[in-house]
């Protein structure tokens, strides 16, 4: 995990208005808003790497409720179009979502169905294989 976070930080682009890392309190607030606990690896990402901007994908964030990547809003939309409520989206691409299960496994939900062939064992595997290469 630490190696991937370091790589992400090295790859991060400089932007005029940088993202901020989420605080523990902000993560608790998001959990209260969506009424489901966040898996540990998603919390780790939000606390230590959610300020990274790299590639074409924009994973969820928890520090700015007005952001288009704000976890509560992304989750609300994903659930409203059919993503099963036991899953938490980690990244939106139009109406398709990478999501995390409570066990920490990442999968792709596209065209209203879970793509069984697109699976990663952890958030960090997904970050390395997908996000960092986008």
Q: Which domains does the chain have, with CATH numbers?
A: 2-133 (3.40.1580.10)
Helix (H, G, I), strand (E, B) or coil at 68: coil
**In angstroms, rounded to a whole number, what is the distance separating the alpha carbons of residues 85 and 57?**
23
**What's the confidence (pLDDT) of residue 24?**
97
How does strand 113-120 pair with strand 88-93? unpaired
Helix (H, G, I), strand (E, B) or coil at 14: coil
Q: Answer yes or no: is pLDDT of 1 > 90.
A: no
| Mean confidence (pLDDT) of the chain | 96
Q: How far is CA 62 from CA 5, 57, 116, 120, 121, in A?
A: 17, 16, 28, 22, 23
**What's the confidence (pLDDT) of residue 105?**
98
pLDDT tens by residue, 98-131: 999 999 999 999 999 999 999 999 999 999 999 9
Q: How many helices (H) and strands (E) does the chain have?
A: 5, 4
**What's the confidence (pLDDT) of residue 16?**
83
Helix (H, G, I), strand (E, B) or coil at 42: helix
pLDDT tens by residue, 19-71: 999 999 999 999 999 999 999 999 999 999 999 999 999 999 999 999 999 99
pTM for the whole thing? 0.94
Stated as kind and residue range, the H or E segment containing 77 is: helix 71-80
Phi first, then psi, for residue 133 (nearest 5°) are -105, 5
**In angstroms, rounded to a whole number, what is the distance separating the alpha carbons of residues 95 and 112?**
8
**What's the confidence (pLDDT) of residue 58?**
96
pLDDT tens by residue, 81-92: 999 999 999 999
């Amino acid at each position: 995990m630490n190696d991937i976070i370091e790589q992400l930080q090295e790859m991060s682009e400089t932007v005029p208005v940088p993202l901020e890392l989420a605080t523990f309190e902000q993560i608790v607030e998001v959990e209260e808003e969506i009424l489901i606990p966040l898996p540990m690896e998603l919390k780790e990402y939000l606390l230590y790497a959610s300020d990274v901007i790299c590639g074409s994908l924009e994973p969820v964030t928890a520090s700015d409720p007005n952001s288009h990547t704000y976890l509560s809003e992304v989750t609300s939309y994903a659930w409203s179009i059919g993503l099963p409520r036991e899953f938490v989206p980690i990244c939106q691409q139009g109406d398709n979502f990478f999501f995390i299960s409570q066990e920490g496994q990442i999968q792709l939900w596209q065209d209203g169905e879970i793509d069984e062939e697109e699976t990663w064992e952890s958030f960090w595997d997904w970050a390395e294989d997908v996000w960092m290469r986008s």
